[in-house]
Structure 1
Amino acid sequence: MYALLVRIEQKGLVDVEKRPSEKGPPRKVYTLNAQGENELNEFWNTWSFLSERIEELRKEGK
């Protein structure tokens, strides 16, 4: 999970805020930014296209 957060942070898809913690070091809070929203929308568009095509192939195979 940590590696995934590091990658999306490095790609500039999230904004990061450090908030104080009662115990231990400050905590990072991640918020999806505009670039991240665009990437997420593109992902869902691609996913929808692929899932529709797979469903078509499945129905043709019956």
Structure 2
Amino acid sequence: MSRPAPEVIEVTSTRIACDGGGGALGHPRVWLTIDPKTGFVECGYCDRKYVLKPGAAVSDH
């Protein structure tokens, strides 16, 4: 039995929050920062992968 692939979400900001979705069935909210060099970050709790959309403005905040 294989596991489903992690969810991939395209975003326009390098700083995002992940709570796993699903309300009470999710996980504690964590803040993640996408490194512009790699263009993505993965959540350590739920393995969601956040990918920076092509052409998104990269801020240094």
TM-score using structure 2 length: 0.23
Q: If each structure's strand is expressed as a fraction of its own residues, which one has the higher value?
A: 2
Q: If each structure's helix is expressed as a fraction of its own residues, which one has the higher value?
A: 1
